Structure 1
Amino acid sequence: MSDEKGDAGATGEPVEEAKKKGGKGRLIAIAVVVVGMLAGAGGVWWYTQRGGAAPASGDKHAEAPAEGGEGQGEGGEGGEASKADPSAAYIEVPPMMVNLRGGGPAKFIKLRFIVVAAEGKTDVVKARLPVILDALQPFLRELRPDDLNGSAAVFRIKEEMLRRSAQALGKGMVRDVLIQDLIQQ
């Protein structure tokens, strides 16, 4: 009898604890899944509200004025993007081919980019485009093949090109440099 009581007491108590722990574990797992789903749904809602999905379509520029009024009331993030399009003047620069610095066999870089002129400065920037190219030539010729490795290489090159363009023409003339092609041979 003592064995039966001991067995019943020993098996009865851990089974109840196991049920309680298993129930709590399942409840926590369900809560984590629900919170994750809510966070994902919130992220999707936030992304669509700020206009992140719209640039994928080709008609974004046609819709920009209609969205500008709505976006400006929500912190200005959507309005900032719609303000940038009408005032931007894109000046395509002829492709440049420059040899890279290095001791081994000759390596070249072919670069095609667009200069974004500030509002009302398009004609001035177009007229002084040779000055921009002259400012960029020494920088591009000093690049080594190792400078083009990694994911941040294009960003660093773009920032340096923007800095040198602004230095050559003066502040407020060039808003951005958009790299279209960067090919190393």
Structure 2
Amino acid sequence: MTDATIEDELEPQKSSKTGLFLGLGLALAGAGGGYYATISGLIPLGESHATKADNKDPDSHGSAMATTAAQDIAFVDLPPIMISLTGGGDLRHLRFHAQLEVASSAASNVEKITPRIIDVLNGYLRALELSDLRDPKSLARLRGQMLRRVSLVAGEGNVRDLLVMEFVLN
């Protein structure tokens, strides 16, 4: 072999840095796009800049929100419901009492349909079995189901929450 071919074999080939620069450019473009998407609100993470600009004093804004929310709500008391439950040969009684958190403007409308709301809750609670109540998380699940049914009867947006005042199983 000649000296020229030996030098070509010994000399390492230099890798192209094009891939490195292309990857770096794409990473920077992705980071910039992610930053823009988060700031513009396309990706809702935490509090947006528009909300931060409006809140110069976070303590005053929090108390203003609390007083506005407290003035805009009303509670509709539902009469207690007593239900007999069977399961495993035992006859047990469930005493249930709740209140509905509604917008103050919708309170009179919800009070007018209280018999329908009681009918829906009574039908749902009578369909329960004792095994449905044994799980410690059952009250949260039942509350969600009842709120969904009450919202359907009262109209979407009229009932904000269902507050369980009494849930006693004898």
State the TM-score bracket (shorter-chain normalisation). 0.5 to 0.7
Of 86, 107, 114, 2:92 maps to 107
TM-score by length of 1: 0.56
Tell me how far 1:70 sits from its aligned partner: 2.9
Count of aligned positions? 114
Tell me how far 1:71 sits from its aligned partner: 4.3
Greater RCO (CA < 8 Å, at least 6 residues apart): 2
Tell me how far 1:161 sits from its aligned partner: 1.1
Gaps in structure 2 of 5+ consecutive residues: 1-57
8 Å CA contact 2:87, 2:131 repeated in 1: no
8 Å CA contact 2:73, 2:104 repeated in 1: yes
Residue 151 of structure 2 is matched in structure 1 by 166
1:155 partner amino acid = A
TM-score by length of 2: 0.60
Counterpart Cα distance in 1 of 2:82 and 2:103: 26
8 Å CA contact 2:81, 2:122 repeated in 1: no
Distance 1:79 1:157, change over 3 A: farther
Structure ranking higher in helix proportion: 1
Residue 150 of structure 1 is matched in structure 2 by 135
SS at structure 1 position matched to 2:90: coil
Residue 119 of structure 1 is matched in structure 2 by 104
Distance 1:157 1:146, change over 3 A: same
Distance 1:89 1:135, change over 3 A: same
Tell me how far 1:98 sits from its aligned partner: 0.9
Counterpart Cα distance in 1 of 2:86 and 2:65: 40
Matched, 1:98 2:103: no
Counterpart Cα distance in 1 of 2:110 and 2:124: 20
Residue 132 of structure 1 is matched in structure 2 by 117
SS at structure 1 position matched to 2:91: coil
Counterpart Cα distance in 1 of 2:97 and 2:69: 22
Tell me how far 1:101 sits from its aligned partner: 4.1
Tell me how far 1:133 sits from its aligned partner: 0.7
Matched, 1:176 2:165: no
Residue 70 of structure 1 is matched in structure 2 by 59
Write out the 4+ residue segments of structure 1 that deviate beyond 4 Å after TM superposition: none
Tell me how far 1:103 sits from its aligned partner: 4.9
Residue 44 of structure 2 is matched in structure 1 by none
8 Å CA contact 1:118, 1:175 repeated in 2: yes
Distance 1:148 1:83, change over 3 A: farther
Structure ranking higher in strand proportion: 2
8 Å CA contact 1:101, 1:142 repeated in 2: no
Gaps in structure 1 of 5+ consecutive residues: 1-68
SS at structure 2 position matched to 1:123: helix
